[in-house]
Structure 1
Amino acid sequence: MASPAVLTASILTILYLLHNFRCLARNIAAAKASGIPYVILPVNTFNICWLISYPLWLPILQRLPTSWTSSWIQFMHPEWAYLLCHKPFEDIGSDIFLTVSPGRIQLWVADADVINQITTRRNDFPKPLKLYKRLDLYGKNVVSTEGSTWRQHRKITAPSFSERNNELVFTESLHHAQALLKLWTGVNGDESRTVSDPAADTMRFALYVISRAGFGVRVLWPHEEREQDATGRNGLFMGSKPPPGHKMSYREALNSLLENIVWTQVFPKWFLAYSPFKSHKHLYTAINEWGKYMEELYEAKKMEMQSDQKSEGLDLFGALIKGAGMASEADQNNGQAAQKQTLSDSDIFGNAFVFMLAGHETTANVLHFSLVLLALNWNTQKRLQEDTDKTLQGKPISEWGYDEDFPKLFAGMGAAVMNETLRIIPAITGIPKTTMKDRPQHITLQGRQVVVPGDCHITLNGPAVHRHPRYWPCVSDGQGRSTSNDLGQFKPERWLVDAGDSSSASNTDHPVSFDDEDMRGPSGLDTSSSLFKPIKGSYIPFSDGYRSCLGRRFSQVEILAALAVIFRDYSVELAVDQFSSDEQIDLMPKGGPERQKVWQKAADRANYLLREALSSIITLQMRGNQIPLRLVKRGNERFVFE
Structure 2
Amino acid sequence: MASPLLLTAGALFVLYWANYTRALLRNIAAAKASGIAYVVLPWNPFYTFWLASYQIWLPLLQKLPASWTSPWLLFMNPEWTYLHGHAPFEKMGSDCILTVSSGRLQLYIADAEVITQVTTRRNDFPKPLQMYKRLDIYGKNVVSTEGATWRQHRKMTAPSFTEKNNELVFKETLHHGQALVRLWTGESRRESRTIQDSATDTMRFALYVISSAGFDVRVLWSHEEKENTGGANSVGSTAPPGHKLSYRDAISSLLENILWTQVFPKWVLENSPFEWHKELNTAVTEWGKYMEDMYEARKREVISGHSSAASGLDLFGALISRSGIASTASDSKTPDSLSKSDILGNGFVFTLAGHETTANALNFSLIYLALNRPQQQHLQADIDAALGGKPIAQWTYDADFPPLFGSMPAAVMNETLRLIPPVINIPKCTPADRPQPVTTNATGGRRVCIPANATVSLSCAAVHKNPRYWPTAAGLPQGTDGVHDVELFRPERWLLRSKPAAANASSTAAHVDETYDDDDMAGPSGADVSAALFKPEKGAYIPFSEGYRSCLGRRFSQVELCAVLALIFRDYSVELAVEEWASDEEVERMGVAERREVWGKAARRADGLLKTALTSIITLQMRGERVPIRLVRRGAERFLG
- Please give the range of the TM-score, normalised by the shorter of the 2 chains: over 0.9
Partner residue in 1 for 2:568: 566
Range with greater deviation from structure 2 (15-24 or 490-499): 490-499
Partner residue in 2 for 1:246: 243
Deviation string for 1:195-229 (max 9, x for gaps)? 11000000010000010111010000111111107
Q: Alpha-carbon deviation of 1:268?
A: 1.0
Deviation string for 1:227-273 (max 9, x for gaps)? 1076xxx6200000101111000001011111111111111122223
Are 2:253 and 1:256 aligned? yes
Partner residue in 2 for 1:325: 324
Structure 2: how far apart are the matches of 1:512 and 1:32? Answer: 39
Partner residue in 2 for 1:305: 302
SS in 1 for 2:486: coil
Q: Which amino acid aligns with 1:273?
A: E
Q: 2:520 aligns with which of 518, 521, 525?
A: 518
Range with greater deviation from structure 2 (37-46 or 48-57): 48-57
Q: Alpha-carbon deviation of 1:499?
A: 7.8
Partner residue in 1 for 2:349: 354
Q: 2:423 aligns with which of 418, 423, 428?
A: 428
Q: How does 1:336-355 map to 2 (within 5 A)?
A: 342-355=337-350
Partner residue in 2 for 1:586: 588
Partner residue in 1 for 2:397: 402
Q: How does 1:111-130 map to 2 (within 5 A)?
A: 111-130=111-130
Structure 1 residues without counterparts, runs of 5 or longer: 501-509
Aligned in 2, Cα 1:217/1:338: closer, same or farther, shift over 3 Å? Answer: closer
Partner residue in 1 for 2:91: 91
SS in 2 for 1:27: helix
Range with greater deviation from structure 2 (273-282 or 95-104): 273-282
Q: Alpha-carbon deviation of 1:64?
A: 2.0
- Is the contact made by 2:23 and 2:102 (CA closer than 8 Å) also made in structure 1? yes
Are 2:504 and 1:489 aligned? no
Structure 1: how far apart are the matches of 2:511 and 2:228? Answer: 52
- Is the contact made by 2:426 and 2:457 (CA closer than 8 Å) also made in structure 1? yes
Structure 2: how far apart are the matches of 1:483 and 1:498? Answer: 21
Structure 2: how far apart are the matches of 1:511 and 1:235? Answer: 38
SS in 1 for 2:545: coil
Structure 1: how far apart are the matches of 2:336 and 2:304? Answer: 18
TM-score normalised by structure 2 residue count: 0.94
Q: How does 1:13-32 map to 2 (within 5 A)?
A: 13-32=13-32
Deviation string for 1:523-566 (max 9, x for gaps)? 21111101100010000000001100000000000001100110
Q: Alpha-carbon deviation of 1:413?
A: 0.5
- Superposed CA RMSD: 1.9
- Is the contact made by 2:512 and 2:526 (CA closer than 8 Å) also made in structure 1? no
- Is the contact made by 2:419 and 2:489 (CA closer than 8 Å) also made in structure 1? yes
Q: Which amino acid aligns with 1:636?
A: A
Partner residue in 2 for 1:507: none
Structure 1: how far apart are the matches of 2:140 and 2:401? Answer: 34
Structure 2: how far apart are the matches of 1:429 and 1:416? Answer: 20
SS in 2 for 1:470: coil
SS in 1 for 2:472: coil
Q: 1:544 aligns with which of 519, 543, 546?
A: 546
Range with greater deviation from structure 2 (426-435 or 307-316): 307-316
Structure 2: how far apart are the matches of 1:339 and 1:67? Answer: 62
Structure 1: how far apart are the matches of 2:3 and 2:363? Answer: 59
Structure 1: how far apart are the matches of 2:623 and 2:511? Answer: 40
- Is the contact made by 1:308 and 1:328 (CA closer than 8 Å) also made in structure 2? no
Are 2:144 and 1:144 aligned? yes
Structure 2: how far apart are the matches of 1:29 and 1:614? Answer: 35
- Is the contact made by 2:312 and 2:321 (CA closer than 8 Å) also made in structure 1? no
Q: How does 1:169-184 map to 2 (within 5 A)?
A: 169-184=169-184
Q: Alpha-carbon deviation of 1:341?
A: 6.2
Structure 2: how far apart are the matches of 1:380 and 1:511? Answer: 26
Range with greater deviation from structure 2 (406-415 or 436-445): 436-445
Q: What is the percentage of aligned positions where both structures have the same residue? A: 63
Are 2:77 and 1:77 aligned? yes
Deviation string for 1:295-343 (max 9, x for gaps)? 11111111112222231664222222233222449xx9xxxx9976622
Structure 1: how far apart are the matches of 2:468 and 2:637? Answer: 38
Partner residue in 2 for 1:503: none
Q: Which amino acid aligns with 1:315?
A: D
Partner residue in 2 for 1:505: none
Partner residue in 2 for 1:291: 288
Structure 2: how far apart are the matches of 1:111 and 1:103? Answer: 25
Q: 2:377 aligns with which of 379, 382, 389?
A: 382
Deviation string for 1:23-61 (max 9, x for gaps)? 000000111111111110001111111111212221222
Structure 2: how far apart are the matches of 1:458 and 1:243? Answer: 46
Q: Which amino acid aligns with 1:625?
A: E
SS in 1 for 2:132: helix
Q: Alpha-carbon deviation of 1:477?
A: 3.2
SS in 2 for 1:57: helix
SS in 2 for 1:621: strand
Q: Alpha-carbon deviation of 1:79?
A: 0.6
Partner residue in 2 for 1:48: 48
Partner residue in 2 for 1:631: 631
Q: Alpha-carbon deviation of 1:455?
A: 0.2
Deviation string for 1:394-440 (max 9, x for gaps)? 10000000000000000010000000000011011101000010111
Partner residue in 2 for 1:135: 135
- Is the contact made by 1:477 and 1:483 (CA closer than 8 Å) also made in structure 2? no
- Is the contact made by 2:173 and 2:563 (CA closer than 8 Å) also made in structure 1? yes
Q: How does 1:453-472 map to 2 (within 5 A)?
A: 453-472=451-470
TM-score normalised by structure 1 residue count: 0.93
Q: How does 1:212-251 map to 2 (within 5 A)?
A: 212-228=212-228, 235-251=232-248
Residue-pair matches, total: 619
Structure 2: how far apart are the matches of 1:36 and 1:389? Answer: 50
Structure 2: how far apart are the matches of 1:121 and 1:465? Answer: 19
- Is the contact made by 1:43 and 1:101 (CA closer than 8 Å) also made in structure 2? yes
Structure 2: how far apart are the matches of 1:367 and 1:121? Answer: 33
Q: 2:264 aligns with which of 254, 261, 267?
A: 267
Structure 2: how far apart are the matches of 1:616 and 1:326? Answer: 37
Structure 2: how far apart are the matches of 1:263 and 1:405? Answer: 41
Deviation string for 1:86-131 (max 9, x for gaps)? 0111001011121000000011101100000000000000000000
Q: 2:557 aligns with which of 555, 558, 562?
A: 555
Partner residue in 1 for 2:158: 158
Partner residue in 1 for 2:361: 366
Structure 2: how far apart are the matches of 1:541 and 1:288? Answer: 32
Are 2:613 and 1:613 aligned? yes
- Is the contact made by 1:515 and 1:522 (CA closer than 8 Å) also made in structure 2? no
- Is the contact made by 1:476 and 1:482 (CA closer than 8 Å) also made in structure 2? no
Q: Alpha-carbon deviation of 1:63?
A: 2.0
Aligned in 2, Cα 1:513/1:555: closer, same or farther, shift over 3 Å? Answer: closer
Q: Alpha-carbon deviation of 1:598?
A: 1.1
Structure 2: how far apart are the matches of 1:67 and 1:110? Answer: 27
Deviation string for 1:3-24 (max 9, x for gaps)? 3333322221221121111100
- Is the contact made by 1:475 and 1:483 (CA closer than 8 Å) also made in structure 2? no
